[in-house]
Amino acid sequence: MPRPQEEESSQPDAAQRPSEAGAAPRFGGTESQGPLPPPPPNFLEIARSEQTVIIRVIGLGNMKVAMGLMDFTTEMLKSGYTQFIFELSGCKGLDSTFMGAMVGLAAAAQEDGGRAAVVNASTDTAELLQIVGADKFLKLAGPYRMEDIETERLEAPPPSAERRLELVKKAHENLVVIDKRNEARFGAFLRQLSNELAK
């Protein structure tokens, strides 16, 4: 059974473990083996139509990708978009920050009379969303053909260190609000973030 991953450092720009970042582990090979290939990129592609925004996750939906998601969707909500679709056919996994960002968006969309849905999630990814209770706000809609939709890559400037901590904290607070069992999973991490922000 997949388990939701909590960020291990209060510094959100810290390097991820190889398994999280999609990179092969290094075992101290010789020079003759050559350099290891770089990890595959993780990013978002978006498309907009009328009141709907489609968000396609490529690679890992992780903490770094979530930063751009949170700022982008905040602007979309202000601009009057109310329907959001996460297209996950190219998604290799989600971490807790990204899932918290998804929940925050879904809750905000509901307040404006809209909703957020997930399509084309793998079985493991759908189970992760259910474990943290995200399915209470996100409709898990199953398979849906979206190959012909034209998207553009979301380019977002990196936030400041303080802003990054605030966004990570907010994402995990979203998870605790929707399911009190997440307090046991992320409570210590939230306290660590609060301590960092208080410095």
Where in the chain are the domains?
Answer: 40-198
CATH number at 40-198: 3.30.750.24
Phi, psi of 60 (to 5 degrees): -95, 135
Nearest residue to 108 via CA among 144, 141, 71? 71
Strands 52-61 and 43-49, by their bridges, are: antiparallel
Specify which residues 55 forms β-bridges with.
46, 86
CA 82/CA 96 separation, integer angstroms = 23
Which tokens in the block code for residue 128?
């992760």
Query: Residue 2: pLDDT band by 50, 70, 90 thresholds?
Result: low
| pLDDT tens digits along 131-181 | 999 999 999 998 998 878 899 999 988 899 999 999 999 999 999 999 999
Would you call 194 helix, strand, or coil by DSSP? Answer: helix
